[in-house]
Structure 1
Amino acid sequence: MTPDAVAPHRRYDATPETVEALIRHRLATALGGWRGSVETALPTVVFVAIWTWRRDIALAAGAALGIALVLAAVRVVQRSSLTHVLGAVLATGIAAFFAVRSGRAEAAFLPGILTNAAYLAGTLLSIATRWPAVGFLVGAGDPRAQEDPFGWRRDRGMVRVCSRLTWVLVGVYAVRLLIMVPLYLAAEVAWLGAAKIALGWPLWVASLAVMGWMLVAGHTPLEPGAGPGAVEEEADGAPEDEPA
């Protein structure tokens, strides 16, 4: 009789051996690529370019919203995911409303500043309550997310690592606010546009690089049942696993 026939065990298909390896796998599944960043940045480029050229807030806002809608239409024609481009359309629409309503071009950047302030507060709160924001990204990459969206929280090592990674996000939002708020108060529209682009995808890539270094350097053991595609097999008459 083999050992597998005596004791209950779990089988994993290509299961990472550490929490860090699993998080790398999940983040790769959950995050978008370069196209989403272009779709987010292009309306800002158009807004700043038109405003700098014509000093017409309504024209600049309309052009930015128009290019966002064109990008969404391209996605529809190609039958590809609308997740990122719809976010860009919504953000552009809100920014255009703020700019036109106030009559100040710099007001187009106020929603983004307020959003980053909210994210900063939210990520700090998530760490304090031991529901780290990165954990939700990890959970989104779990193929069993619909059945068990918060399964990642049962692994204490996963929570610890995700908390450390969430501090990187705290740094991202803090840097954005430290740069964007003074530019907004000074009404530096061109610099606000450049900063928004530079602090978008490039800063996000840099933060992912920091996270990647942290994940490569760490070797937190993965608790049983936390890997992707786990299949539990129990022998007849064998006791069930104790809850974590």
Structure 2
Amino acid sequence: MPQPESQRTLGDIEQTAPSADPAQQLIDQLGGPTGMIYTAIPIIVFVTANALVALPIAIGSAVTVALVIMGLRIARGEPGVQASGGLAGVVVAGAVAAWTGSAGGFFLIGIWASLAGAVVALLSLLTRRPLTGLLWNAVHGNKFAWRQDRPSLRAHDIATLALATMFASRYVVQDWLYDTGAAGWLATAKIVMGTPLLALALLVVVWAFRRSTKRLA
């Protein structure tokens, strides 16, 4: 016999409440659109400063701006770990630039990360365990046999291929620019191939997530 609304417990309400959209969870983990824009600002500052002053000062300028951005994000109520991610990336990039003694070194970590992302995504496709499908199932507690559902598997094949293409194109273009020593063009490529390409790839990922959720969850 159904319980009256007034007698339902908090646990009952939580069990009947719809779960959060996994696609939105993925975007939130990336910091959302504003968070992705924040990552471009220190890059612009670094390249601009490097054209005007010595490399150590350019690195210090980028780190300072990243520190200010972190403070603003924390002041807006963002989690400290998420807000500090951008600062950590700039500090590491600056350390590599200082170690190599070249402005191009500031972008090496991103280039290597793109190569790693492309390899992981492609390997997951070759082993018939597309990366986005693994992420979708992890969000849902790894309780669905999503690989047995052909439409869901196909959707995640497409989404993972989109990610692999994004990472591979970043690596090929930026590695070539790094080899030619074109730091200014490298910064432009990093920004243009950053948020815009990621947004396009995430559209495909969101479609695959929602397709699987509709069919299985």
Q: Verify same fold: TM over 0.5.
A: yes
The corresponding residue for 1:182 is 176
Q: Decide whether aligned partners of structure 1 residues 52 and 136 sit closer, same or farther in structure 2, where only a CA change above 3 A counts.
A: farther
Give the C-alpha shift of residue 173 in structure 1.
Answer: 0.7
Q: Which one of 27, 41, 44 corresponds to residue 23 of structure 2?
A: 27
Displacement of 1:112 after TM fit? 0.7
Is residue 2:165 matched to residue 1:167? no
Alpha-carbon distance change, 165 to 12 in structure 1, aligned in 2, over 3 angstroms? farther
Instruction: Structure 1: give runs of 5+ residues left out of the alignment.
Output: 1-10, 16-21, 143-147, 228-244
Partner of 1:41 in structure 2? 40
**Contact 1:30/1:140, CA 8 A, preserved across alignment:** no
Distance 1:164 1:103, change over 3 A: same
Q: Extract unaligned runs of 5+ from structure 2.
A: 1-14
Counterpart of 1:98 in structure 2 is 96
- The answer to whether the Cα contact below 8 Å between 2:23 and 2:206 also exists between their aligned partners in 1 is no
Alignment of structure 1 residues 1-12 onto 2, 5 Å? none
Shift in Å at residue 153 of structure 1?
A: 4.5
Return the TM-score normalized by structure 2. Answer: 0.79
- Whole-Å Cα distance in 2 between the matches of residues 162 and 98 of structure 1? 35
Q: Structure 1 vs Structure 2: percent identity of aligned residues?
A: 27
User: What are the superposed Cα offsets for residues 125-158 of structure 1, whole Å, 9 maximum, x if unpaired?
Assistant: 122233322124424654xxxxx2x224545223
Alpha-carbon spacing, 1:130–1:151, altered in 2? closer, same or farther (3 Å): farther
- Compare the two structures and name the one with the higher helix fraction: 2
* Paired position in structure 1 for 2:71: 73
Question: 1:4 aligns to what?
Answer: none
Q: Is the 8 A contact 1:37 1:201 kept in 2?
A: yes
Q: 8 Å contact 2:155–2:208 — kept in the other structure?
A: no
> Which of 137, 140, 143 is the equivalent residue of 1:151?
143
SS in 1 for 2:111: helix
Q: Is the 8 A contact 2:159 2:201 kept in 1?
A: no
- Higher Cα Rg, which structure: 1
Q: Provide the rounded CA distance (Å) in 2 between the counterparts of 1:116 and 1:185.
A: 16
Q: 1:43 and 1:104 mapped to 2: Cα distance?
A: 17
Instruction: Give me the TM-score of the superposition, normalised by structure 1.
Output: 0.71
Give the whole-Å Cα distance in 2 for the aligned partners of 1:219 and 1:155. Answer: 10
Q: How many residues align?
A: 198
Equivalent residue number for residue 87 of structure 1: 85
Amino acid at match of 1:166: T
Give me the CA root mean square deviation: 2.8
Aligned mates of 2:207, 2:147 — CA distance in 1: 21
Aligned AA for 1:116?
S
Identify which range, 61-70 or 155-164, moves more after superposition.
155-164
Report the residue type matching 1:151 in the other structure. K
